[in-house]
Structures are given as structure tokens and as C-alpha cells.
Amino acid sequence: MTEALYYQDPRLARTSARMASVARVASEASEAPDGASADGSATEGWIVELDRTIFYPEGGGQPADRGTIGGLAVTDVRKEGQRILHTVAGKPGGDEVDCRLDWPRRWDFMQQHTGQHLLSSVLAARCGAATVSIHLGDEVSTIEVDREALADGDLAAVEDRAAELIAADLPVTSRWVDDAELAALALRRPTQRRGSVRIVEIGDVDRVACGGLHVARTAEVQLVRLARVERIRGRLRTHWKIGRRALLDYRVRARIVDTLGEELSAPPDGVAGAVAELRGRLDGQDKALEAAARRIARSQAAALVAGARLHGARRIVTAAFEGEAPDFLRRVGQELASEAGLARLAGLAGLAFCLTNHAGGRLQWVMGADAKAGPQIAGLLPRLLATVDGRGGGKPPLWQGIASRPGGVGELLTAFEAACIDAP
């Protein structure tokens, strides 16, 4: 049996203890579910048992403590019957070992746990919402309640009431009771436990059975802030920032709002409106830019068609652009492709085109021809692309891609024109 010093004094962060047993974690433990914790962290190192411990084992929604035993990292702590087993990164030397808690982490979880009791109590008293499950995570603490929804006003009232109870600096106390005492107590949440049961009370506002660790007074919870709510399986899961986490969260958010406010020349409560206005303006500009790009591509395509070389019943367009945006060549290609289709419908000479654009060290190409009246691009493609080490693809009436040899552009355009003239 290990003496649980954390119950006698939850603030004891350092002590010495006697080694009761030490054993190497068997390597096959990584496959054995009973030898591993949920995150698998118990599968490495040594299992150390002490005569007494300040390390809280995982339980009641509160995670296991961290720290060092004999200077070696404690990676997990769990309870097996009356024994508390520590997973340690190495084998501590000597009979007597120095034990140190990761105190900031423990304090954080004591704040989380006490804040959770306080919030569960207020959710029940103010909203009639009973706590179904809790999770104390590394980022947020969650409380799931037996309600599908709560109004924003109710949630704000819960936050306000919790702040009042924190300011009231109520004592948080624990005691052990037997079955007879337990039967006489009204608990916020009924317990199935019998024998010796640990009761945790916050002033006269909350009483539950709990084996976890808590701060001594509600003022030590500092602050609670609702982060968000989500609906899960017809229940409401509330996410909370509690204690110093809430303070840091406010600080980060305040800085973000201040920075945005300076950027936007807006007061804090005007930032959201300024962003919406900016977004509306950007959307309008995107549309105007899109329309302008379409007009430019159309007039560029018209100029190319006007300068096309006529060979029999076929008009041929070739051009090498420099420094244009990739989007430009794609748009001009699309305009020419639709022109190629329209030409046949109008009984005009068929249109075939090959364009390149060399910009930012990148060579881009588009080719096209009417599927019925033009040369069969698909068949010509491998030979044409070989001139520029190109790759890409498409289907009638448009093909496009990139290439890695800009020096071959002249050869590509000449080969394209020759192929169009030769094509039946």
C-alpha cells in the first residue's frame, strides 16, 4: 500500500520516499493493453513503487502528475488496488529517492478541476443542466451536460455566477465519510461508491464525491471563460478556459484585437465591422479584376486571330509571350479554343494555335484546334513537346502544360506550324 501524501497536502511539491519495488517495463507490455496507459506512455522505462507519494495517479477526469523521481522523468502514474505505480524513464538509484512534482502543471489541473466543480454546480443551479461527463485537457476543460442547447444569455449568466463565487473566496474542503454518513448527505451527483468515500465541498454551494485534487479556496480558481459549445449526440459540450489559462487566453486575444485595430484604424469593438467592410471591398475588386482579365484575354485573342496566317482552309496562330501571369495564357487559350469552335460553326477557315509564356523561370504552353476541322493535336503532342521538354495534356479543343527548355520555343512554334500545314 502506498501512502497518498497528495490527499494529506495537495500543495506538497517535493518529498523524499523509500523505494518499495522497481521493475523494468517488459517490452511485450507495448502489446498488452493492461500494461499500457491510453496514450501508450507506460510502455517505456521502469515501474517504481514507493512507500509514499506526492504523485497523483490518473483518475476522476484528472490526468496523472508529472515530475521526477531521483532526477528521472515520471511519464505516468496509475493506481493498482492500494498500490500507486510510477512509470519512470530510468532506474532510480538508492533506497531513498528525491521526488519532485511538475508543480505548475499540477496547479493548473487543480485550477481546472476546482473550476469544473464550480461550473458544474452553477450549470445545475442556474440552468437545471446536470453534468454527464467531464474532460480536463491540456488546452481546454470540457463539461458535457444533459441538455441539447443553452441560450447565450444563460451561458453568460453561468460565467457571471461563477465569477461571483470565485470572488466570494469560498473554502474548498474534502473529507472521508462512511456509508451511514454518505446516506445522510445530499450530493449534486449521486455516487455508486460505498465504504470510505471522499466528499468535496465548495462552501455550502456544492457537494460531490470526488477523488481528485483541488485548490483550497475558490479565489484560487482565478477566472473562468466559456471558449465555445458544441452539440454532441444530442447533448451540449461546453469548453472552458479556467484559471491562469483563461488569463493567458484573454491576453492573447486582446493583443490580436489591438494589432488588428491598429492595422484597420478601428476601435476594438469596430474590428469585426472593419474586417467585414474590407472583405466586401475585396470581393468587389476580385469581381472587377476578373471582368478586366476576361476583357484583356478576349481582346488579345481577337488580335491574334486578326494576325493569323492562312494556309488553305486553316488559319494558324503562334505566339511567344514573356513575363505574363500563368492565368493570362490559360484565358487567351480558352478564348482561342472557343473561337476555333465558333469558326467552324460559321463556316470559316479552321483555327489552330500554339502559345507559350516564359515568366519567372517557368515555361508554360497552350495548344488548340477545332476537334473536327483542325489537326489532331493529341497525336502530334509527344513530338511537339519534345522540343521544349514539355509535359501536360488536355482534350479537344484545348491542351496545356509546362516545359523546362525555354530555348526550344522557336523550334516548337515552327514545328507546330509545319504540322498544321501538313495535316490533312
Give residues in contact with Zn ion (CB under 5 A).
113, 210, 212
Contact, 86 vs 77, CB < 8 A? yes
Give the list of residues 6+ apart from residue 176 with CB closer than 8 angstroms, or none.
196, 197, 198, 199
Residue number of the CB closest to Zn ion reads 210
CA–CA separation, 267 and 284 (whole Å): 25
CB of 212 to Zn ion, least distance (A): 4
- Choice between 55 and 56, CB closer to Zn ion: 56
CB of 159 to Zn ion, least distance (A): 20
Q: Which of 404, 341, 410, 412 is nearest to 381 (CA)?
A: 412
- Choice between 19 and 210, CB closer to Zn ion: 210
Q: Which of 218, 207, 210 is nearest to 243 (CA)?
A: 218
CB of 117 to Zn ion, least distance (A): 5
CB of 116 to Zn ion, least distance (A): 7
- Choice between 78 and 298, CB closer to Zn ion: 78
Helix then strand count (H, E) for the chain reads 9, 21
Contact, 119 vs 150, CB < 8 A? no
CB of 110 to Zn ion, least distance (A): 9
CB of 123 to Zn ion, least distance (A): 15
- Choice between 145 and 210, CB closer to Zn ion: 210
- Choice between 92 and 212, CB closer to Zn ion: 212
CB of 174 to Zn ion, least distance (A): 9
Q: Which of 199, 237, 206 is nearest to 221 (CA)?
A: 206
CA–CA separation, 129 and 122 (whole Å): 9
Q: Which cell numbers in the block locate residue 297?
A: 484575354
- Choice between 201 and 370, CB closer to Zn ion: 201
- Choice between 27 and 192, CB closer to Zn ion: 192
CB of 108 to Zn ion, least distance (A): 15
Q: Which cell numbers in the block locate residue 340?
A: 476555333
- Choice between 52 and 113, CB closer to Zn ion: 113
CA–CA separation, 365 and 393 (whole Å): 10
CA–CA separation, 33 and 213 (whole Å): 27
